[in-house]
Chain A
């Protein structure tokens, strides 16, 4: 009999021994991380649109302004280029701002600040400075809001040496990665997901962090590696459960967690064991993160492969508004299962 999978527990069973646990939402986990870091370091502050008095468009910062006040939790006008650049400048003097993009889609109006200044100042100064900022906010589709509000730009960020980017798929990682991101001395993008904010997972009550650059094996398996990140990793896990129960396929599910830095060993070790890989991401396929991972696998584990690497990503077009079509456009369990069956055929 194949054991059923407990999604909530599997997530971090491989990463740490059990502490006292609390079942909390992804949103609450992020908020705890922000609050703990504000308390820990007087230079940590939060800025963005509606983050303070309105408690955040998605309530991630709820209660923080009330508790920590105007100096630490700062409402901005709708001027992303200005406040992103301001955050970068202030970080040169040791402030550690956490900049909220109400949607990561809005970072595009601050492109120069984030993709030129945050990423290259250190390099161009020959290492004389560093930019310890965090840029956080939801980067996902699936919410029926159309093309301008549904970007998943982790690949754009990863394409800029100097920037780091993580995509937490669950509350535990959201908290642990956020804390690491704030303590990190480089600019780190934390790609959140509005569809996960209300989901609950068990998170230790004791303080912990999740290091950047360490993937997580969500489910061990022998037949095929499903490699994914962000909310897609959770969908992949559900697909793996169905594959196990209905097709007797024992898939391994790897959650990258961190896109840059990337845990190459986790990917390669898994593929060396299963000899097949399906890569799943919500982003559009062309020049997506998984294009790089696919290259990595064929380059470093070519002889281990028994089949071509398959990819599941958003259907290659701007995000469609119509809900049932958008649900098909972005990866879902069925599309992952179809791809796994094809890869194993």
Chain B
């Protein structure tokens, strides 16, 4: 049982940032690996900016929950994934998707509801999946993914594979019963799942203070004997450092871990949330952008260690913008799914009934 003292809490105060780059997990990064991280977070930003443009042009409808501001969290954690590690998240899922290597084309086409989308236009913005990349969604119901994350980790343990599942959730999602039930279960059964609480301070228009009685969210783990810590989410090296400890702990000890990462979303809850400057101040938003923008923070560091030059950074940005633009063109030119697609992918057995062996009626249309 972890005692209070055993629980490590990183405060992530500024000034200590040097330390994170010096840590082994970051120090070992080659120049090209660091560049790759940089390109990923820029790609997430530019992809989403382009998707927003498409939304505003009326080419995408429904909900669009942008990850802008939080990019270093998914990018940092995905960069630590080992062969048997899996991830799962909620509806704010574009960043995680690109981080695991889904292409802009398939992601953009999905937003457009096109047949070439990652889910053939069936899932939409909130429901991206890439099992081949060990990315299990993309889930629209708040905290609905939290027991699933436990299940992924349970399966690893069951099969005797060394790995962990990382399950992302928001600061609002912690108040769902399913999450609290799952915390007990994963601790009781010794399941190697890491819950990453992406604490961006708000659940829709509700600040953390107004939704959680106790402001330290990760600390809830103590009630279940779960190790926890917190860190800042704007510096990808800090994210990697904290997440590496959490993931290693889970893998090595077959135990759960809760990592609360303080981050910020620049945009409204979804694009439809036009009110987001009413429940928080403009200064608060500007302040974060100015001082903690994850792209700028990383860029500054990579300029300093000569991984980047102003010119190469500009060139990367240009290339990535072009890629995002091309994905929009790809999406636009792609076809919608045919009507017959409405009733495929519902049942495995129906989809795989090549020899017409199925008994019973599966669909009930007049």
Co-assembled chains A and B: yes
Q: Mark B105-147, 1 if CB is under 8 A from A, else 0.
A: 0000010011000010111111100000000000111111000
Interface flag for B189 (CB, 8 Å): no
**Chain A residues whose C-beta falls within 8 Å of the C-beta of B290 in the assembled complex:** none
**Minimum distance in angstroms from B66 CB to a CB of chain A:** 16
Interface flag for B158 (CB, 8 Å): no
User: Complex formed: what's the CA distance from A317 to B342 in Å?
Assistant: 7
Interface flag for B336 (CB, 8 Å): yes
A315 touches B365 (CB 8 A): yes
**Minimum distance in angstroms from B145 CB to a CB of chain A:** 11
A323 touches B113 (CB 8 A): yes
CB < 8 Å neighbour of A321 from B123, B178, B339? B123
User: Complex formed: what's the CA distance from A306 to B173 in Å?
Assistant: 54
Interface flag for B62 (CB, 8 Å): yes
Interface flag for B203 (CB, 8 Å): yes
**Minimum distance in angstroms from A44 CB to a CB of chain B:** 23
Interface flag for B63 (CB, 8 Å): yes
**Chain B residues whose C-beta falls within 8 Å of the C-beta of A313 in the assembled complex:** 366
User: Complex formed: what's the CA distance from A109 to B83 in Å?
Assistant: 33
Interface flag for A57 (CB, 8 Å): yes
Known: A145-B126, A285-B365, A325-B336. A50 touches B204 (CB 8 A): yes
User: Complex formed: what's the CA distance from A143 to B119 in Å?
Assistant: 18
**Minimum distance in angstroms from A171 CB to a CB of chain B:** 22
Known: A54-B205, A109-B178. A78 touches B142 (CB 8 A): yes
B61 touches A323 (CB 8 A): yes
Q: Among B7-15, B29-37, B95-103, B206-214, which stretch is in contact with chain A? A: B206-214
B205 touches A325 (CB 8 A): no
**Minimum distance in angstroms from A248 CB to a CB of chain B:** 24
B140 touches A149 (CB 8 A): yes
- Chain B residue with Cβ nearest A57: B204
**Chain A residues whose C-beta falls within 8 Å of the C-beta of B279 in the assembled complex:** 53-54
Known: A109-B176, A148-B141, A324-B113. A316 touches B211 (CB 8 A): no
Interface flag for B341 (CB, 8 Å): yes
A146 touches B124 (CB 8 A): yes
Interface flag for B53 (CB, 8 Å): no
**Chain B residues whose C-beta falls within 8 Å of the C-beta of A143 in the assembled complex:** 61-62
Interface flag for A328 (CB, 8 Å): yes
**Chain A residues whose C-beta falls within 8 Å of the C-beta of B123 in the assembled complex:** 146-147, 321
**Minimum distance in angstroms from B34 CB to a CB of chain A:** 36
User: Complex formed: what's the CA distance from A53 to B280 in Å?
Assistant: 12
Interface flag for B275 (CB, 8 Å): yes
Give B202-257 interface residues, CB cut-off 8 Å to A: 203-206, 210-212
* B interface residues (Cβ-Cβ under 8 A, vs A): 61-63, 110, 113-114, 119, 121-127, 139-144, 172-173, 175-178, 203-206, 210-212, 275, 279, 336-337, 339, 341-343, 346, 363-366
* A interface residues (Cβ-Cβ under 8 A, vs B): 49-50, 53-54, 57, 75, 77-82, 105-106, 108-109, 143-149, 285-286, 310-313, 315-318, 320-325, 328-329, 339
